[in-house]
Chains A and B, each alone.
Chain A
Amino acid sequence: MYSSFLKTAIRNVIRHKAFSFLNIAGLTFGLTACILIGLFVQDEMQFDKFIPEGSRIHRVYYQITTEEGTSQVATTPPMFATALQQEFPEVENTLRVLNNPNKELFEVGDTKLYEEGGILAEQNFFEIFPLQLTYGSAVAALEDPNSVVISQELARKYFGDKNPVGKKITISKSPFQVSGVFQNNPKFHLPITYIFPLVAAGIAEERMQSWDWYSFNNYVKLKQGADVEGLQAKFQRYTQPFLQGDETTTYLPLFQPLHDIHLYSADFRYDMAVRGNIIYVKALIVTALFILVIACFNFVNLATAKSLQRAKEVGVRKTIGANRSQLMVQFILETIFLTLISVVLATLFAWLFLPLLNQFTEKQIAFDLLADPMNVLLLLLLAVLVGVLAGFYPALVLSGFQPVKVLKGTFSGDSRPGKTPWLRHGLVVIQFSLSVLLIISAIVVRRQVTYLHSKELGFEKEQIMFFPMRGERMSSNVETFKNELLQSPFIEGVTVGYGFPGDMFGDGMMTVPGKGEQKKATQLMVDHDYIKTLGLELVAGRDFSREMKTDKDHGFIINETAVKELGLGTPEQALGETLLWPTWRNADSVKRGQVIGVVKDFHYKSLYERVEPAVLQIYPQAYWKVAVKIKAAGIEKALPYVKEVWEKFSPEYPLEYNFLDESFDKMYKAEDKLRSLLWIFSGVAIFVGCLGLFGLAAYAAERRTKEIGIRKVLGASSQNIVLLLSGDFVKLVLISILIASPVAWYFMQQWLQDFAYRINISWWIFVVAGLSAIAIALVTVSFHAIRAALRNPVRNLRTE
Chain B
Amino acid sequence: MIKLNGIYKWYQSGINRNFVLKDINLNIEEGAFISLMGPSGSGKSTLLNIIGMLDEPSEGEYLFLDQSVFAMKERQRKELYKQYIGFVFQSYHLIDELTVYENIEAPLLYQGVKSSERRSMVADMLDRFSIVGKKDLFPNQLSGGQQQLVGIVRALIAKPKLILADEPTGNLNSAQGDEIMQLFQQLNREDGVTILQATHSEKNAAYGHRTIHLLDGQIQHQHVPL
Contacts and interface: CB of A to CB of B under 8 A. Distances in A.
B54 A323 contact: no
Given A404-B49, A404-B54, A315 B110 contact: no
Contacts of A760: none
A203 interface: no
Interface string A397-418: 0000011100111000000000
Given A4-B105, A407-B89, A319 B97 contact: no
B169 to A, nearest CB: 17
Contacts of A1: 109-110
B97 A322 contact: no
Nearest to B79: A321
Contacts of B81: 321
Interface in B12-67: 45, 49, 52, 54-55
B91 interface: yes
A317 interface: yes
Given A321-B78, A321-B110, 10 more contacts: A4-B102, A15-B96, A315-B93, A319-B52, A319-B54, A319-B93, A320-B110, A320-B154, A321-B107, A404-B49
Top 7 A-B pairs, shortest CB-CB distance:
A321-B110, A320-B107, A11-B97, A321-B82, A316-B93, A1-B109, A319-B87
Interface string B61-105: 000000000000000001001100001010101111110001001
A312 B98 contact: no
Given A1-B109, A4-B105, A321-B111, A407 B93 contact: yes
Contacts of A11: 97-98
A621 interface: no
A704 to B, nearest CB: 25
Secondary structure at chain A's binding surface: helix, strand, loop or mixed?
helix
A313 interface: yes
A15 B97 contact: yes
Nearest to A327: B110
Nearest to A315: B93
B73 to A, nearest CB: 13
A326 interface: yes
Interface in A265-323: 312-313, 315-323
Which interface class (under 10, 10 to 19, 20 to 34, 35 or more) fits B? 20 to 34
B87 A320 contact: yes
Nearest to A2: B109
A12 interface: yes
B106 A317 contact: yes
A322 B95 contact: no
Contacts of B102: 4, 7
Contacts of B105: 4
A312 B78 contact: no
B162 interface: no
28 contacts: A1-B110, A4-B98, A4-B106, A4-B109, A7-B98, A8-B95, A8-B97, A11-B97, A11-B98, A12-B97, A15-B97, A312-B93, A313-B95, A315-B93, A316-B93, A316-B95, A317-B95, A317-B110, A318-B54, A319-B87, A319-B93, A320-B110, A320-B154, A321-B82, A321-B111, A402-B54, A404-B49, A408-B45
B7 interface: no
A311 to B, nearest CB: 11
A404 B48 CA distance: 10
Interface in B101-123: 102, 105-107, 109-111
Interface string A12-44: 100100000000000000000000000000000
B21 to A, nearest CB: 14
Interface in A318-348: 318-323, 326
A409 B91 contact: yes
B106 A320 contact: yes
A403 B54 CA distance: 7
A1 B102 CA distance: 11
Nearest to B86: A320
Interface in A496-519: none
Contacts of A408: 45
B158 interface: yes
B110 to A, nearest CB: 4
Nearest to A322: B110
Contacts of A323: 78, 110
B50 to A, nearest CB: 10
Contacts of A313: 95-97
A327 to B, nearest CB: 10
Contacts of A312: 93
A4 B49 CA distance: 28
A441 B49 CA distance: 58
A403 B81 CA distance: 14
Contacts of A7: 97-98, 102
Contacts of B93: 312, 315-316, 319, 407
B61 to A, nearest CB: 20
A430 B94 CA distance: 38
Contacts of B91: 409
Contacts of A318: 54
A321 to B, nearest CB: 4
A11 B95 CA distance: 11
Contacts of B110: 1, 317, 320-323, 326
A321 B95 CA distance: 14
A729 B91 CA distance: 37
A656 to B, nearest CB: 71
Given A403-B54, A409-B91, A321 B97 contact: no
A402 B52 CA distance: 13
A75 B53 CA distance: 80
| Residue from A318, A320, A408, A409 whose CB has the most chain B CB atoms within 10 Å | A320
Nearest to A313: B95
A588 B58 CA distance: 105
A408 B166 CA distance: 11
Contacts of B107: 320-321
Nearest to B104: A320
A320 B163 CA distance: 12
B180 to A, nearest CB: 18
| Residue from B81, B93, B96 whose CB has the most chain A CB atoms within 10 Å | B93
